[in-house]
């Protein structure tokens, strides 16, 4: 019987008996993934012809020569364009050094790969896997060593030493764990609240001038801080960083407000936290035509007229909205603080305070 006919017979018996139903539900799946074996060996041109072999030798040498030229060029550039106060020299130094070093490294790398692929021996070699379990002799020798170490150190015999060692090992990690308490002051609920309170007037940043609804035309954007935020205050920067708001006016008919948020805007004027919910960069760009707010750090994009939902980028949550209205003098005021924490997520953000 030829090898081929044996193979065909084996295959057909494997197909016929792929599943064996032998007394009940037992299923035997024979050789579900067949070993594909090695691909047939392909003889390289450099093995067949001396001409190609010599060409490959020249190519590899050429690549190494390019590497030498590149490195020499980098050295020349280093001494010819020393780092100085002259910016153009610094620029040339960086550029030429980079080019020279790139050529130096690339020439060696590509040359070595080309050498290995075209000229070094091209035989498929397979290595049998050995058992990961050690031989019985090795295992017995290891146990012997452990027993000898036990005897010599007296570990089981000297109870006092053994117990004090256990105690020291148990206590040893505690100072490291206690140090975790010094990671910083507990922020308490400061991450959940900002300077905004019911009735706080909206003021322009950085002048602090309070702003009226009539000052805002459709399409305009203002960076806003709470009125009364005092720059002399020690906490000024922290409070400003949490309370900063973007104020935008759009055509009220374009706003898609949820039932719950109807009444949070005033005649198309909406106020959203300026602090990106990704990692807290200031959302700084407003695209008037599309009503998109963009965070320049990682391009998170928020849809202003749809509750500042995230429409692109890594931010996971919409920008929190500040409910606003006007007071009797027409000044814009906050109806309350933000109703959710502003800025990026923190570990217990979802826990209600």
What does the binding site for ligand FES look like in residue numbers (CB under 6 A)?
Answer: 276, 278-279, 281, 295, 297-298, 300, 313-315
What 3-state DSSP class applies to 200?
coil
Count Cβ atoms within 10 A of the Cβ of residue 237 and give its class: 0-12 exposed, 13-18 middle, 19 or more buried: exposed
User: In terms of CB distance, is 201 or 278 closer to ligand FES?
Assistant: 278
CA gap 59, 64 in Å, rounded: 9
CA gap 36, 124 in Å, rounded: 15
Q: Write down the least CB distance from residue 279 to ligand FES, Å.
A: 4
User: In terms of CB distance, is 192 or 278 closer to ligand FES?
Assistant: 278
Q: Write down the least CB distance from residue 123 to ligand FES, Å.
A: 53
Q: Write down the least CB distance from residue 230 to ligand FES, Å.
A: 28
User: In terms of CB distance, is 64 or 286 closer to ligand FES?
Assistant: 286
Per-residue DSSP letter, 320: P
Per-residue DSSP letter, 91: H
User: In terms of CB distance, is 97 or 279 closer to ligand FES?
Assistant: 279
User: In terms of CB distance, is 268 or 282 closer to ligand FES?
Assistant: 282
β-strand partners of 247: 222, 271
CA gap 148, 130 in Å, rounded: 29
Question: Count of alpha carbons within 13 Å of 316, Cβ hemisphere only?
Answer: 5
Q: Write down the least CB distance from residue 244 to ligand FES, Å.
A: 14
Is residue 341 within 8 A of residue 319, CB to CB? The reply is no
User: In terms of CB distance, is 268 or 314 closer to ligand FES?
Assistant: 314
Q: Write down the least CB distance from residue 181 to ligand FES, Å.
A: 30
Residue 128 has which token pair?
A: 């049998």
Transcribe 250-264 into DSSP letters. Answer: --GGG----GGGTTS
Is residue 349 within 8 A of residue 280, CB to CB? The reply is no
Say if strands 292-294 and 301-303 run parallel, antiparallel, or are unpaired. antiparallel
Q: Write down the least CB distance from residue 344 to ligand FES, Å.
A: 7
Q: Write down the least CB distance from residue 271 to ligand FES, Å.
A: 18
Q: Write down the least CB distance from residue 221 to ligand FES, Å.
A: 17
Residue 105 has which token pair?
A: 């490294």
User: In terms of CB distance, is 225 or 294 closer to ligand FES?
Assistant: 294
User: In terms of CB distance, is 74 or 342 closer to ligand FES?
Assistant: 342
**What phi and psi values does residue 239 have, to the nearest 5 degrees?**
-65, -40
CA gap 287, 248 in Å, rounded: 11
């Amino acid at each position: 019987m030829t090898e081929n006919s044996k193979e065909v017979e084996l295959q057909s018996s494997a197909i016929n008996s792929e599943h064996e139903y032998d007394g009940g539900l037992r299923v035997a799946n024979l050789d579900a993934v067949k070993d594909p074996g090695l691909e047939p060996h392909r003889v390289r041109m450099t093995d067949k012809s001396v001409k190609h072999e010599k060409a490959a030798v020249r190519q590899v040498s050429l690549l190494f020569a390019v590497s030498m030229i590149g490195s020499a060029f980098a050295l020349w550039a280093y001494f010819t364009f020393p780092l100085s106060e002259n910016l153009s020299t610094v620029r040339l130094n960086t550029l030429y050094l980079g080019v020279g070093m790139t050529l130096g490294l690339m020439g060696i790398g590509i040359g070595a790969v080309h050498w290995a692929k075209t000229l070094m021996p091209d035989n498929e070699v397979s290595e049998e896997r050995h058992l990961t379990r050690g031989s019985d002799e090795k295992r017995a020798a290891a146990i012997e060593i452990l027993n000898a170490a036990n005897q010599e150190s007296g570990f089981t015999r000297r109870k006092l030493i053994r117990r004090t060692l256990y105690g020291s090992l148990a206590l040893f990690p505690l100072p490291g764990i206690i140090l975790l308490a010094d990671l910083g002051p507990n922020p308490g609920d400061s991450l959940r609240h900002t300077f905004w309170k019911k009735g706080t007037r909206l003021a322009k940043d950085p002048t602090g001038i309070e702003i009226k609804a009539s000052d805002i035309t459709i399409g305009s954007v203002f960076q806003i801080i709470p009125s009364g935020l005092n720059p002399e205050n020690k906490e000024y920067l922290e409070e400003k960083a949490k309370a900063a708001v973007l104020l935008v006016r759009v055509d009220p008919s374009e706003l898609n407000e949820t039932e719950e948020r109807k009444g949070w805007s005033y005649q198309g004027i909406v106020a959203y936290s300026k602090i990106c919910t990704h990692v807290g960069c200031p959302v700084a760009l407003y695209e008037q035509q599309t009503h998109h707010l963009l965070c320049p750090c990682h391009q998170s994009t928020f849809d202003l007229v749809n509750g500042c939902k995230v429409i692109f980028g890594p931010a996971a949550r919409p920008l929190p909205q500040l409910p606003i209205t006007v007071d009797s003098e027409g000044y814009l005021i906050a109806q309350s603080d933000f109703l959710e924490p502003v800025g990026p997520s923190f570990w217990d953000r979802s826990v209600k305070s």
